[in-house]
Amino acid sequence: MSAPRVVLVDDHGLFRSGVRAELGRQVEVVGEADDVQPAIDLIASVLPDVVLLDVHLPGGGGQAVVQAIKADHPEVRFLALSASDAPEDVIAVIRAGARGYVTKTISTAELADAVRRVAAGDAVFSHRLAGFVLDAFAGGPAADAKPSFDPELDQLTGREREVLRLIAQGYTYKEIARELYISVKTVESHVSSVLRKLQLSTRHQLTRWAAERRLT
């Protein structure tokens, strides 16, 4: 597979040039933008494989970019980056449609790996995001069952929980596969299924976090 084509969206020029310098050899950086509207225009014209998207942008949250692009270009994939680990940031951008979330302290090798994985259609969870998801889906549905409650979407399976726990402990997909005696492909499908639940579930915790960022 050729190197994925990447657009960087971040309002810190310093951060963009840092990422470009570090990732330069492993991915093809085809453009940079520093705000919501320029980013939307740029992405629509160059149609990259992956957009590295800062959660905090001056002209609105990163999710505004995701929402604007998703409608017309569902093939463009987003990997969210943030300096903060506030659950509402993470959940909001994931629910808008990002395929993954990593913190800005991530190492270059891991970031390149995450970009490749998102380009291939997988989900990428940082260990912190895995922690949030476990937290949000903790306990039974009794506490906040809504009329729209759907056990299919609103609860994690035991296996998904195990996978998330291992991600939260810093395991790679390969290590998880070995630990649970399953294939890496199976690990990936568990994570993708968790991502789908994260985006579609109406669990109270998730909607609350999303509402804190005015996203419904």
Partner 1 sequence: MGHRGPFWLRHRGGHGGPLRRDPDDRLGGGVAAGVAAWKGFSVTTVRIVFVLVTLVSAGWGVPLYVLAWLFIPAVGAEANIFSKARNDSGGIRLAVGLASLLIFVLLVAGALNGGWFISWAWPQVFSIAGLALIWRNAPSQEQATLRHLLEPLGAATGDVAPSRRSAWRLVIAAVLMAAGLGWLFSAHASLALLRPLGGVLLVTAGIVLALGPWWLRIARDLALERQAKARAEERVDIASRVHDSVLQTLALIQRRADDPQKVVQLARLQERELRSWLFEGRDPDEDEAELTFAAGVRQIQQDVEATYGVPVEAVTVGDCELDENLSALIAAAREATVNAAKWSGASVISLFAEVEPGEASIVVRDRGKGFDPEAVPADRKGLAESVHGRMARRGGTATVTTAPGEGTKVTLKMPRSMTASRT
Question: Whole-angstrom Cα distance, residue 143 to residue 161?
Answer: 19
CB of 198 to partner 1, least distance (A): 15
Of 19-27, 125-133, 151-159, 195-203, which segment contacts partner 1 by CB under 8 A? 125-133
Question: Whole-angstrom Cα distance, residue 54 to residue 61?
Answer: 8
Q: For residue 127, which phi and psi values (nearest 5 degrees)?
A: -65, -30
> Could you give the angle at which helices 108-119 and 13-23 cross, rounded to 10 degrees?
80
Q: Determine, following the binding rule CB under 8 A, whether residue 130 of this chain makes contact with partner 1.
A: yes
Cβ-based nearer residue to partner 1, 6 or 136: 136
- Across 124-160, b (16+ Cβ under 10 Å) vs e yields bbbebbbbbbbebbeeeeeebeeeeeeeeebbbeeeb
Binding mask 104-123 for partner 1 (x = CB under 8 A): -x------------------
Cβ-based nearer residue to partner 1, 43 or 206: 206
Cβ-based nearer residue to partner 1, 5 or 165: 165
Cβ-based nearer residue to partner 1, 10 or 49: 10
Question: Whole-angstrom Cα distance, residue 139 to residue 178?
Answer: 28
Window 71 to 90, contacts with partner 1 (CB under 8 A): 84-86
Helix (H) or strand (E) holding 172: none
Among 131, 156, 160, 206, binds partner 1 (CB under 8 A): 131
CB of 216 to partner 1, least distance (A): 22
Question: Whole-angstrom Cα distance, residue 145 to residue 110?
Answer: 38
Interacting residues toward partner 1 by CB under 8 A: 84-86, 105, 127-128, 130-131, 134-135, 138-139, 165, 168-170
